[in-house]
Amino acid sequence: MRTFAAKEGWPAIRAGWADRLPEADLAALDEAVAFAARHHGAQTRPAGEPYLEHLLEATRVLVEGVGVTDADVLRAAVLHDVVEDTACPLGEVRARFGDRVAELVGWVTKPEGGERTAYLARLRDAPDDALLVKLADRLSNVQRLDTHPRPAKRRAYYEETVRTILPLAARYPWFRTWFDGWRTEFRGLADDR
């Protein structure tokens, strides 16, 4: 099972993509990365890594795993948590990055105070590009799920991923294969107490 890391940071990742993406698209990603870094600030993930690493991992999944080169989809991947996890309103994303990026971010943003099951069910009707962003996000979240500090969270997130995300992944051969391997490798988390 391939894992995606981003510890080396955006400049190194950007340099590695110079042969995959046009300079104009890389410049558009520069802007999105700077925007996300500014809004997420010093936020960290549950295992303590800088939040920006997660955003870059999700984007890496799309470029290096799936082969996505659409700059709007990649910018949405970088920005996918900025509305949900910071004080940034969706309107600011729209004003800065356009309607399409804002629409994709909107699809993958859990509504404030919204019920998680309803949010995940709504994704069944999401456009393909929004699902690609969501699947990349979830892949980043679960690829090292066994390192999450809370066993109950590991178990619940594993079960939720199998129940709600794997059916969405079935439409995309690369994601279907990856998540099938992940489910097998991490199945012990279902019994994690």
Q: For every residue of 37-89, which 3-state class applies, written as one string?
A: HHHHCCCECCCCCEHHHHHHHHHHHHHHHHCCCCHHHHHHHHHCCHHHHCCCC
Residue ranges per domain, the chain?
A: 10-191
Tokens 């079935």 belong to 170
Answer whether CATH 1.10.3210.10 is correct for domain 10-191: yes
Q: What is the pLDDT of residue 115?
A: 83
Half-sphere exposure of 9 (CA within 13 A, CB side): 3
The secondary structure element, H or E, covering residue 10 is helix 10-16
Distance CA 188, CA 155 (A): 9
What's this model's pTM, rounded to 2 decimal places? Answer: 0.96
Q: How far is CA 62 from the centre of its chain?
A: 9
Residue pair 98/117 in contact (Cβ under 8 Å)? The answer is: no
Q: What is the pLDDT of residue 150?
A: 87
Instruction: Give 186's contacts (C-beta < 8 A, 6+ positions apart).
Output: 142, 145, 146, 158
User: Tens-of-pLDDT digits for all 193 residues of the chain?
Assistant: 899 999 999 999 999 999 999 999 999 999 999 999 999 999 998 888 999 999 999 999 999 999 999 999 999 999 999 999 999 999 999 999 999 999 999 999 998 877 888 888 899 999 999 999 999 999 999 999 998 888 888 999 999 999 999 999 999 999 999 999 999 999 998 876 5
Q: Which residues are catalytic?
A: 84-85
Q: If 0-12 CB within 10 Å is exposed, 13-18 middle and 19+ buried, where does residue 19 land?
A: exposed
